[in-house]
Chains A and B, each alone.
Chain A
């Protein structure tokens, strides 16, 4: 397995700050906006953006965590069922601007399930999508992000992993490539 760092910790921080600035540009004081991170990995992006934004705006933002396990379209197509994570949305999103946040956008299926799952909490005024990494050649559904940290060109056999200093010890994005034995 070949391993290549495509975003180091310095660029990682710059990217997060840029995403925060873009959010501020569109949502000003976040009066009618809520941020929702998708479980399990999108919540890390959310918590870092929340920290930056709350520091800049000097106010607390409304944030939630959404688990989409029961809304997936691949139930019974997998070997094993996925164990759900916690959903933590203690507010109603009726008429709110929602920013859905995830770490890697790949097929778009997770986001589709996320949109379904969101409906259980009300009818939002508008939903936007923020992703840290966009693997833009791999989409299965017509879903595009509104805010992107970094676009990467990848093959479907490759794997992208976003690592966080809180959980993995260092901020970085790594691209894994399966070595082809025939070559």
Chain B
């Protein structure tokens, strides 16, 4: 099968295992491309892509833009700050105005869960969700899976991945859980009771509140940031206490009886969820994740672009 089963990338929940494997395989080819002397291919030269960021982003935005440019697409960027959104324009009006400029594909980050789905049902362009509130962040999950696959091999069966931190407010966690489970890996979440959703066990993940036990169980640990901007109430006493109980330092890492792989979707709060010496250690693949992000996003855009109707 050479085609995705979906027309938009809204969430990993909608993808099949074959879709995920197709994206990862296509990303292999793009990883080769971005490591050549000339890092650009002409595949999408007749396509226009709009990057709509209604929420702050550094890595994801740059990564998408680079991916689009390396596929030779025309790119327009939009950031909510400094736009008419502040003057009271609705999402659908903003987007329709942008689409009137003949855009074929929209990459959108939005603070409201479901925004990408809402958009995909109302506009005549392909939509890629670059994060919608606390719901999903599918491209991050795919690049995480790609990075794990690069380090641990094609077969995810029985691979153990723990996601540590603020699970309640993390779209990365939810997308990662869906993605890894579809590929056959086992997933555990670890964090303070207040930051783990009550019924998360129903997704088939293990729950652990002791970081050492979680790390001893896993092959890969994905350390998440505390999303202070999404927390309306206080979920734990202080950052210092969180860091003492759920922060990963070199001493803890070295005391484990195996070498686990450390991941982080960024941005890192050094000294909170992981210390600098862990983030920069040889077990960390944080910077590889960033490089792989471009290749994976190229693959997603390439595969979705083939579904754009020709005028």
* A interface list, Cβ under 8 A from B: 67, 69-72, 75-78, 80-87, 92, 116, 119-122
- Are A81 and B306 in contact, with the CB atoms below 8 A? yes
Interface-side segment among B26-34, B83-91, B168-176: B26-34
- Are B303 and A81 in contact, with the CB atoms below 8 A? yes
- Are A81 and B41 in contact, with the CB atoms below 8 A? no
- Are B2 and A82 in contact, with the CB atoms below 8 A? yes
Beyond A70-B41, A121-B37, A122-B37, whether A84 also contacts B29 by CB under 8 A is: yes
Beyond A81-B303, A122-B37, whether A71 also contacts B42 by CB under 8 A is: yes
Contacts of B308 in A (CB 8 A): 76
The complex places the Cα of A72 from the Cα of B46 at a distance, in Å, of 13
Q: Please provide the chain B residues from 268 to 295 with a CB less than 8 Å away from any CB of chain A in the complex.
A: none
- Are B32 and A86 in contact, with the CB atoms below 8 A? yes
- Are A75 and B2 in contact, with the CB atoms below 8 A? no
Beyond A116-B42, A120-B37, whether A77 also contacts B25 by CB under 8 A is: no
Per-residue 0/1 for B85-103: is the Cβ within 8 Å of any A Cβ (1 yes, 0 no)?
0000000000000000000
Nearest Cβ in chain B — how far from A118, in angstroms?
10
Q: Please provide the chain B residues from 31 to 62 with a CB less than 8 Å away from any CB of chain A in the complex.
A: 32-33, 36-38, 40-44, 46
The complex places the Cα of A157 from the Cα of B205 at a distance, in Å, of 55
Contacts of B310 in A (CB 8 A): 76-77
Nearest Cβ in chain A — how far from B295, in angstroms?
12
Closest to B308 in A: A76
Interface size on B, residues (CB 8 A): 24
- Are A80 and B2 in contact, with the CB atoms below 8 A? yes
- Are B42 and A81 in contact, with the CB atoms below 8 A? no
Which residue from B26, B44, B306 sits with its C-beta under 8 Å from A84?
B26
The complex places the Cα of A83 from the Cα of B305 at a distance, in Å, of 14
Contacts A/B (CB < 8 Å), 20 sampled: A71-B41, A71-B43, A72-B43, A75-B43, A75-B305, A75-B306, A76-B46, A76-B308, A81-B3, A81-B302, A83-B22, A83-B25, A84-B29, A86-B32, A92-B37, A116-B42, A120-B40, A121-B36, A121-B38, A122-B37
Q: Which 10 A-B pairs have the closest CB atoms?
A: A70-B41, A84-B29, A120-B38, A81-B306, A80-B2, A70-B43, A80-B3, A120-B36, A83-B2, A75-B43
- Are A70 and B37 in contact, with the CB atoms below 8 A? no
Can you name 7 extra interface pairs (CB under 8 A) apart from A81-B2, A81-B306?
Answer: A71-B43, A75-B43, A80-B306, A81-B3, A81-B302, A84-B26, A121-B38
Nearest Cβ in chain B — how far from A77, in angstroms?
7
- Are B306 and A76 in contact, with the CB atoms below 8 A? yes
Contacts of A119 in B (CB 8 A): 38
The complex places the Cα of A173 from the Cα of B26 at a distance, in Å, of 31
Nearest Cβ in chain A — how far from B43, in angstroms?
5
Contacts of A78 in B (CB 8 A): 306
The complex places the Cα of A158 from the Cα of B167 at a distance, in Å, of 59
Nearest Cβ in chain A — how far from B220, in angstroms?
26
Q: Please provide the chain B residues from 61 to 109 with a CB less than 8 Å away from any CB of chain A in the complex.
A: 71
Contacts of A80 in B (CB 8 A): 2-3, 306
Contacts of B37 in A (CB 8 A): 92, 120-122
Contacts of A77 in B (CB 8 A): 310
The complex places the Cα of A71 from the Cα of B38 at a distance, in Å, of 13
The complex places the Cα of A104 from the Cα of B310 at a distance, in Å, of 30
The complex places the Cα of A137 from the Cα of B305 at a distance, in Å, of 33
Closest to B298 in A: A70
Contacts of A75 in B (CB 8 A): 43-44, 305-306
Closest to B22 in A: A83
The complex places the Cα of A85 from the Cα of B310 at a distance, in Å, of 26
Nearest Cβ in chain B — how far from A78, in angstroms?
8
The complex places the Cα of A183 from the Cα of B38 at a distance, in Å, of 53
Nearest Cβ in chain A — how far from B50, in angstroms?
18
Closest to A119 in B: B38
The complex places the Cα of A96 from the Cα of B180 at a distance, in Å, of 46
Closest to A82 in B: B2
Beyond A75-B306, A77-B310, whether A70 also contacts B42 by CB under 8 A is: yes
The complex places the Cα of A67 from the Cα of B310 at a distance, in Å, of 25
Contacts of A69 in B (CB 8 A): 29
Contacts of B26 in A (CB 8 A): 83-84
Contacts of A85 in B (CB 8 A): 29
Nearest Cβ in chain B — how far from A43, in angstroms?
15
- Are B306 and A87 in contact, with the CB atoms below 8 A? no
Which residue from A76, A87, A92, A122 sits with its C-beta under 8 Å from B305?
A76
- Are A87 and B43 in contact, with the CB atoms below 8 A? no
The complex places the Cα of A183 from the Cα of B71 at a distance, in Å, of 48
